Structure 1
Amino acid sequence: MTVLNRIAGQLTFGIIALLWGNLAFAQGNYPKHVILTWNQEPSRSQSVTWRTDSLALAPLAQLALADDTPMNPDLKSVIPRVLQLKDVQNREYYYYSVTFEDLLPGQTYRYRVGDEQGEWTGWNHFSTPDKGNEPYSFLYLGDIQNDILNWGTRAMRAAYAKAPHAGFMLFAGDCVNDGHDAGQWNDWFRSLGHIPEVMPIVPVTGNHEYDDLPGSEESTLSLFWNAQFELPQNGPKGLEESVFYVDYQSMRLVVLNTMMALNSEEDLKIQTDWLESVLKDNPQKWTVVSYHHPLFSARDGNHGDYPELRASWQPVFEKYKTDLVLQGHDHMYGRGSRQYQTINVPQGQAGPVYLVSVAGPKMYGIVPERRWMDRLGLNTQFYQQITIDGGKLEFRTYTVMGELYDSFDLVKQENSYNRFLEHISSDSHPENLFPGGAYNRKNAK
């Protein structure tokens, strides 16, 4: 090899190494896991969190009122809070969080996040809810948990395709199978795609968001939970960001943590007392509560009955006329409106309506003798759209193939319980069961 050839080869190698290094740096600093959540009033604020694999030199978030032009000099820039996190395999991540404040209700904003000395996301839009009586909707999904990319993806994206302008998407726990596993959260974000960049997410803790850390026998909340979700701090001390409430237009949405409630009588009482306080002092027309482990269960798997939750929470729901209770855990669909402890509700009306749903591929059956639900769905992936228009709430359940599987309305009545209008019943519409009409996988043909 001549001297010139050697020099040319060294120059080529150096250029490739430089380009590769720059590419690796850029990939490490490109914002990932961008997600909208709330930690303050939705009509006046919007939180956003993102992650990089290496520390951004000058992280920043920018915001402006959206319009049709690509130019807008009135940019608001916010420097994020930065958190360094190491996972169980000692890999480092950097999380950035900002909350845009003093926003106007009923407006559409554009925003981007990134690094002034590196890469930015594209401009995305979000809309603040109106303070008036405009109709609004939101999406509710049960457990994703397993095989997230293969099967969870279609449920999340089918829900978004059905209602792309919904106010938010709620997950009723078990987003992943192992709460401390970075790869599973990567799959969850990949499955969501661009959805959390334009639609706020309300996550609920499930039992699989808790896991043991290496060297410990005590389950703890996912390392990633507080880092990647900016959530309200209005819950009981020590349970902030897993127990909270959000007032969204005419609805108070209350989120509870059943893993901690089932941990001890003391933890259960703390949440019960807090629940009573936020329902007693509730100015909203509609009340929706969400948590993971259901009050009623007919599932044929383990860990399906929680009488301590029923004894503590059901009387509170009934006392303050909670409208909907959105649950997960049982890996099936169930809807019931005749489960009462302390009240008598006339025919054609409803107290709290209890829902269980599943969005992922893991499916349980039921023990028929323990059936509590009026409408049942097995071996099927579902998502739900809830629409509120003044004094009327419309609840619609769809399969991932777009079939309307369940449908009912609640109508507010002065000094009485909600009028209950059932549009699909199991008497008139066949139920999805396991092959051969079986109620569990074991007896499927």
Structure 2
Amino acid sequence: MKQEKSLLDLFQETNKGISRRLFLETCGASLVAAALPINLTKVFAADAVASAGHLTLTWSLDPKTTQTIAWSTAENSEKGSLQVIKTSIYKKSGWEKAVTIEADHELFKTNTENVMLHYATAVSLKPGTIYTYRVKIDDKWSEPLQFSTQPDKEDSFKFLVFGDSQSGLPKNPEYGPWKKTINNAYAAHPDAAFFMNVGDLVEVGQDYAHWKNWYAAAKDVIDKIPSMSVPGNHETYDVPEENHSVLPLYFKKQLHLPMNGPEALKGQVYSFDYGNTHFAVLDSQLEEEHSYVDHMLELQANWLDQDLTASKQEWKIVLFHKTPYYNKATRSNEQVKAVLTPVLDKHHVDLVINGHDHGYSRTYPIYQDTFVDAPAKGTVYLVSGRSGNKYYTDLSPKVWDAFFHDPQAEPNYVTITVNQKVLTINAYTQSGELIDVYSIDKQKQVDIPRTSLPEPSNNTLLVIWGNLLQTPLVAVPPQKISGIWHIPLRSFIEFIGGKIDGDSEGNIIASYQKTTVLLKLNATQANLNREAHTLTYPLTLLKGTAMISVDDIKTMFAFQSRYDKAMNMLFMVK
């Protein structure tokens, strides 16, 4: 077949006095499109190229041999099609030898408009190959784009990780910060094979205005590399009430992910392999979804146990939104931690990635809720920070953090590179400043920087919500009295945000949230919310400080306690 002359050739034949550089600067994108072996008149016809509402790559099947593509159009659009061809062939003969796949489609009735969703999966692709694709909308084709399949033997790969990209404003779908973060990240790391957003993609999950702006912000990335996302609590929020939760319908309708999770959570919980790494994605939204899915955490724990047992991959990475090891001031996720971490410990998951707190932190390796001195002995938990507009002002490093960064000044993102037996985490600010570097080398059985646990204190340390209380916050450290741990009552109440008053006769009034208790030194009788209450142990005076047992703290204020002998720390959390 005779090769058509490019627009550049034609232009230079008739305009020999104009330099190539000037031509490129003035024609820019038109040159790229026109140089392709397609009809030139269609390139410049404004109504001849279809424009999808959004175009998104995901994997629902094997990344080596398949690619799933989803797009949206107006509600009255015809059923769409996908065309795929090896880029090397496309450069020679255009779309002549392309494979055409008829898309599935579904009318999606949203809160703002009705749209037609189309999705198709190209199969029987060659591993390690660049493909060119386009989608058909009514009788028009979109501009050509490219994707790459996973190589058959992937010795090294990189993927991007984004924390919460939400706007932070329920009534204002502002995704400018997310646009800058994802585009800066991809521009700096064009070799990334895919990206993962660790939940709270949007502010209001059942508000299509937020999704449209999220897609628009990410459009130059999500159509080039797959997005393998994690559901967050904001994906469950309904319209118009931010705190009214439903199942994440909009998330599941639009993002076509592997359907290998538990039956009740398909499309929200899934796993896949890439290279020598196994990825498992969970849904941690117990508070928001428990009324829709019975025993949802236990269901996932059982599934995860089977999923990890079946995996023979070198690396195991698990992602879910809410944080077992958090960096918010007083927000813990104890049920999520209690149900899921035993499975993570059992299978020695290498890395757990979370979102939710909008801070960046990396823990010491942890096994059975205890810090260990090497990643070979435990799991590293990474809180990924924020990639969008919303930030918190009450973040702080916790006792389990080997590294902490507060991204109030600007959003951040993470890259993770797996090179055979070495996994490397790099965290960057939105503008590209390196925040953190950490690697695990399984071959040499070391991590860099080396894990260095804090030396145990001679006195038992009091830790509340992961925060270490020291002098002058704690006048007297936790003490065992008659074999039971006691803590300074005033230090505890004031730190958790309660109020405490006393008189010269030994009467003490302590209040926190909806609980008010009247206590008396050396007495086992108390008044709890105006009702008689018997303490397990009498309130004791030690070095001028009223000490109360952790058992009574649990009964009155619902705080759990755990003593860590290795670190000589008494942990308390609600």
TM over 0.5: yes
Q: Corresponding residue for 1:63?
A: 84
Q: Corresponding residue for 1:17?
A: none
SS of the counterpart of 1:122? Answer: coil
Pick aligned residue for 2:136 from 114, 122, 125? 114
SS of the counterpart of 2:302? Answer: helix
Aligned length: 396
Deviation of residue 226 (structure 1)? 2.4
Q: Corresponding residue for 2:97?
A: 74
Cα distance in structure 1, aligned partners of 2:141 and 2:397: 57
Contact 1:57 1:115 (C-alpha < 8 Å) held by counterparts: yes
Q: Encode CA deviations 1:111-131: one digit per residue, 9 max, x unaligned.
A: 1002362x2211111000112
Distance 1:272 1:211, change over 3 A: same
Please report the RMSD computed on the Cα atoms of aligned residues, expressed in angstroms: 2.8
Q: Corresponding residue for 2:124?
A: 102
Q: Corresponding residue for 1:275?
A: 304
Percent identical? 28
Q: Corresponding residue for 1:354?
A: 381
Q: Corresponding residue for 1:162?
A: 188
Deviation of residue 26 (structure 1)? 6.3
Counterpart residue identity of residue 404, structure 1: L
Q: Corresponding residue for 1:41?
A: 62
Contact 1:156 1:192 (C-alpha < 8 Å) held by counterparts: yes
Q: Corresponding residue for 1:185?
A: 211
1:306-325 equivalence runs, <5 A: 306-325=333-352
Deviation of residue 55 (structure 1)? 2.6
Cα distance in structure 1, aligned partners of 2:241 and 2:425: 45
SS of the counterpart of 1:318? Answer: helix
Q: Corresponding residue for 2:245?
A: 219
Pick aligned residue for 2:201 from 175, 187, 192? 175
SS of the counterpart of 2:200? Answer: coil
Q: Corresponding residue for 1:337?
A: 364
Distance 1:26 1:274, change over 3 A: farther
Deviation of residue 140 (structure 1)? 0.2
Counterpart residue identity of residue 172, structure 1: V
1:252-263 equivalence runs, <5 A: 252-260=278-286, 263=289
Q: Corresponding residue for 1:328?
A: 355
Q: Corresponding residue for 1:384?
A: 414
Of 223-232 and 291-300, deviating more is 223-232
Contact 1:261 1:271 (C-alpha < 8 Å) held by counterparts: no
Contact 2:49 2:143 (C-alpha < 8 Å) held by counterparts: no
Contact 1:213 1:219 (C-alpha < 8 Å) held by counterparts: no
Unaligned runs of 5+ in 1: 1-24, 428-445
Q: Corresponding residue for 2:115?
A: 93
SS of the counterpart of 2:96? Answer: coil
Cα distance in structure 1, aligned partners of 2:338 and 2:62: 32
Q: Encode CA deviations 1:66-102: one digit per residue, 9 max, x unaligned.
A: 123352422111111110011124x210000000011
SS of the counterpart of 2:54? Answer: strand
Distance 1:200 1:110, change over 3 A: same
Deviation of residue 250 (structure 1)? 0.8
Distance 1:218 1:404, change over 3 A: closer
SS of the counterpart of 1:287? Answer: strand
Counterpart residue identity of residue 403, structure 1: E
Contact 1:36 1:47 (C-alpha < 8 Å) held by counterparts: yes
Distance 1:381 1:369, change over 3 A: closer
Deviation of residue 154 (structure 1)? 1.1
Counterpart residue identity of residue 129, structure 2: Q
SS of the counterpart of 1:114? Answer: strand
Of 103-112 and 205-214, deviating more is 205-214
Q: Encode CA deviations 1:281-305: one digit per residue, 9 max, x unaligned.
A: 111111111110011123136xx21
Q: Encode CA deviations 1:296-346: one digit per residue, 9 max, x unaligned.
A: 123136xx2111111121121122111111110001111112333177844
Pick aligned residue for 1:125 from 146, 149, 153? 146
Q: Corresponding residue for 1:146?
A: 167
Of 27-36 and 263-272, deviating more is 27-36
Cα distance in structure 1, aligned partners of 2:243 and 2:341: 32
Pick aligned residue for 1:375 from 403, 415, 439? 403
Cα distance in structure 2, aligned partners of 1:136 and 1:421: 19
TM-score by length of 1: 0.82
Contact 1:138 1:167 (C-alpha < 8 Å) held by counterparts: yes
Deviation of residue 107 (structure 1)? 0.7
Q: Corresponding residue for 2:567?
A: none
Counterpart residue identity of residue 305, structure 1: S
